[in-house]
């Protein structure tokens, strides 16, 4: 699902400056400023922070509305933003670092597409380049086994309802935006993958350097997200 109406309210709904700083610190701890590509950059919050840290950023998102939001933050015009699918990078060059953050990876719904995505990322990394991404943990499926519901209102008066429900390997999110003259609904699906299968698939293209839970807990343990730092394999 492409973020449309949600793009306009995305920061108001989920923006967390402390968490954004944690994302940046995680990347900084493994990769010095260099030429980087961010996939599914969303509203560009982390992109902008990395650019200010000295990273040369190219960023893309499938949602045109999200790209507009991201561009509006980059007043210096130092970031190249593109509207395109992260699964097809054929028009791009090679980078020292590629990032796919904030559970964006989980929008890839088929195992075959995951394999193809990892291959595509590998093809666009320079030798010894690093790939950073995170994924929902298996615990998230248990967390949302019972439906989560949130309601609220934005500064412009638009009211919203947000529900999250997990079933089998999937997380379903539904948004309803109640505006003055209409109701807009968006439906999002994400898939959670077993970390053993994920590691095996990654290993075709990368050396998995580090796996942590919730940024800094070593290994796969109970938590919300798994974080991966992978290095492009040396071609034999």
**pLDDT reading at 79 higher than 80:** yes
Same domain, residue pair 110 and 180: no
Residue pLDDT, tens place only, 110-136: 999 999 999 999 999 999 999 999 999
Q: Give me the pLDDT at residue 199, please.
A: 98
Token pair 């395109």 is at which residue?
A: 84
Same domain, residue pair 199 and 182: no
Record the pTM: 0.94
Same domain, residue pair 168 and 78: no
141/13: higher pLDDT: 141
34 pLDDT tier (thresholds 50, 70, 90): very high
The boundaries of the domain holding residue 166 are 140-190
Number of compact structural domains in the chain: 2
**pLDDT reading at 183 higher than 70:** yes
For residue 214, give the CATH number of its domain: 3.40.50.150
Same domain, residue pair 97 and 209: yes
Share of the chain above pLDDT 70, in %: 97
Distance CA 134, CA 177 (A): 28
Q: Give me the pLDDT at residue 11, please.
A: 76
13/57: higher pLDDT: 57
Distance CA 67, CA 197 (A): 32
Same domain, residue pair 184 and 69: no
Same domain, residue pair 58 and 168: no
């Amino acid at each position: 699902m492409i973020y449309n109406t949600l793009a306009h309210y995305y920061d108001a709904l989920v923006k967390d400056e402390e968490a954004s700083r944690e994302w940046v610190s995680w990347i900084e701890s493994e990769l010095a400023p260099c030429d980087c590509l961010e996939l599914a950059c969303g509203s560009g919050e982390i992109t902008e922070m990395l650019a200010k840290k000295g990273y040369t950023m190219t960023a893309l998102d499938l949602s045109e509305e999200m790209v507009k939001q991201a561009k509006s933050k980059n007043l210096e015009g130092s970031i190249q933003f593109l509207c395109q699918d992260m699964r097809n990078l054929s028009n791009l060059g090679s980078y020292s670092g590629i990032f796919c953050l904030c559970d964006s990876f989980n929008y890839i719904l088929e195992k075959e597409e995951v394999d193809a995505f990892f291959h595509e990322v590998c093809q666009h990394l320079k030798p010894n380049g690093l790939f950073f991404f995170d994924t929902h943990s298996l615990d998230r499926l248990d967390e949302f086994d019972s439906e989560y519901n949130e309601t609220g209102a934005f500064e412009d008066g638009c009211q919203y309802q947000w529900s999250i429900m997990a079933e089998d390997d999937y997380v379903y999110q539904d948004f309803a935006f109640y505006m003055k003259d209409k109701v807009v609904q968006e439906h999002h699906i994400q898939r959670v993958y077993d970390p053993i299968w994920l590691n095996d698939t990654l290993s075709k293209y990368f050396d998995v350097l580090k796996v942590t839970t919730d940024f800094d807990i070593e290994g796969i343990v109970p938590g919300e997200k798994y974080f991966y730092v992978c290095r492009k394999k040396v071609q034999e």
